[in-house]
Chains A and B, each alone.
Chain A
Amino acid sequence: MSDLGGAFDDEKMERTMGQLLRLGVLLAGTVVVAGGVMYLADHHGERVNYTKFTGHPITLRHPAELAGSTSIAVLDVGILLLVAVPIARVGFALAAFFAERDWLYTAVSALILAVLVWGMLRGG
């Protein structure tokens, strides 16, 4: 199936993908822990109430908002990193199938990526 003589086969691709995912989750998790500790340090005296839905505004519409760098923003970055992990996985698959010259699955990956990006940009 591969024109590259097995230099890049499905198994290798899945293994690299698995490592990539784990690394991404580790990174996102670390950022969330850091943000969480910062938030707890700032707000430990407060009480929480999630019974009424008000909606959490996205603080990161613009990179400039990061400059303020509050603990909430750090938490938001961690969560966005986490959401980016599976998207990056699909991007990686797209490149790998392209390298394998598997056009059918290059198209499949591109379609999934398009749906993901559309969901991200279209928003509510």
Chain B
Amino acid sequence: MPLPTFTFLVFAGSFLAGLLGALTGLGGGVVLIPLLTLGFHVDMRYAIGASLISVIATSSGAAAAYVREGYSSVRIGMFLEVATTIGAVVGAFLATRAPTRALAIIFGVVLLYSAWLSRSQQDHAVTAEPNPWSDRLRLSGTYPDGRGGRTAYVVDRIAAGWATMFGAGVLSGLLGIGSGAVKVLAMDKIMRIPFKVSTTTSNFMIGVTAAASAGIYLARGYVDPVLAGPVLLGVLAGSLLGAKALVRAPVPLLRTIFAFVIAVLGVEMVVNGWMGRL
């Protein structure tokens, strides 16, 4: 494909991926890698490298907006970033050693899991039993209740949450994705942190996690700037627009459509990985 056409199509595709990722809260990385590998026949390693860089851009670019809402917790984020960054370094080392078809299959399974996870999201009751370590580690906090006041919350099952975060970091480093779904799972479902706090804090953590594996990706030559450039600009523009349009968009409908698309892509990745075509 001629360079200008390729650059434009990759930018447009990445823009759409970023837009949908922000509107549905699932992140752009999950559709970006199938788009590049299945759609543009890009080698899995280049796709992972470009995706990782775009993940850093969106996470950092959106942070200012999230902070203004007052939900995210810098302490919970940083406490768990210790787990995700160590996991990300481990994941990146594994990625440089694993065959690409294995990566494709793992990626497909993660896509199917994300699709399944996106169907069920309701807020849970605030945890009843106070965990003394929540205060000791200064993880307890408050968030706006929407009526001008603030609701207090504590953090539970810290060790299990930390371990899951390590897993999220490994996935992020292995596949070049933000693994926001697993991060939210760890905070929301395991540590019983309020959903809004979980999602905004997760966004905050994604960039730092991705930066941990970026050095290894760069040194291994996974980040080709001619590909990563339009990808990161497209995803960034798309996700910023998506975050703005979020209020007016038919989110439940979009989620259903997007979950379906992700599931189909997941099957495609597993099949192509199995046949050794990626």
Contacts and interface: CB of A to CB of B under 8 A. Distances in A.
A27 B63 CA distance: 15
B214 A55 contact: no
A116 B219 CA distance: 14
Nearest to A23: B64
A105 B92 CA distance: 26
Highest count of chain A CB atoms <10 Å: which of B46, B59, B66, B211: B211
Size bracket of the B interface? 35 or more
Interface in A20-55: 21-22, 24-25, 28-29, 32-33, 35-36, 39-40, 43-48, 50-55
Interface of B: 1-4, 6-7, 40-43, 45-46, 49, 53, 56-57, 59-61, 63-68, 70, 72, 74-75, 78-79, 81-82, 85-86, 88-89, 92, 96, 137-138, 207-208, 210-216, 218-230, 232-233, 236
Contact of B225 (A76, A102, A122): A76
Contact of A119 (B7, B215, B221, B225): B215
Interface residues of A, number: 66
Contact of B64 (A19, A36, A43, A53): A19
Contacts of A72: 225-226
Contacts of A85: 56, 60, 207, 211
Contacts of A93: 74, 78
Given A44-B3, A119-B211, 9 more contacts: A51-B41, A56-B221, A56-B223, A56-B224, A80-B218, A86-B208, A89-B207, A108-B78, A120-B215
Given A11-B70, A105-B138, A119-B92, A53 B63 contact: no
A54 B226 CA distance: 14
A86 B59 contact: yes
Contacts of A40: 3-4, 7
B43 A53 contact: yes
Contact of B214 (A14, A24, A54, A83): A83
Contact of B215 (A53, A76, A102, A121): A121
A90 B208 contact: yes
Given A47-B1, A119-B212, A124-B220, A83 B53 contact: yes
A92 to B, nearest CB: 11
A33 B11 CA distance: 12
A111 interface: yes
B contacts with A: majority SS: helix
A104 B136 CA distance: 10
Given A53-B45, A93-B74, A119-B92, A46 B3 contact: yes
Highest count of chain A CB atoms <10 Å: which of B1, B45, B46: B46
B36 to A, nearest CB: 8
Given A50-B224, A86-B56, A35 B207 contact: no
A contacts with B: majority SS: helix
Interface of A: 1, 10-11, 13-15, 17-19, 21-22, 24-25, 28-29, 32-33, 35-36, 39-40, 43-48, 50-58, 72, 75-76, 78-80, 82-83, 85-87, 89-90, 93, 102, 104-105, 108-109, 111-112, 115-116, 118-124
A14 B223 CA distance: 30
Contacts of A53: 43, 45-46
A54 B221 contact: yes
B207 A79 contact: no
22 contacts: A11-B70, A28-B57, A50-B43, A53-B43, A53-B45, A55-B220, A56-B221, A75-B225, A79-B53, A79-B225, A79-B229, A79-B232, A82-B60, A85-B207, A86-B56, A86-B211, A89-B207, A90-B81, A108-B82, A119-B215, A120-B215, A122-B216
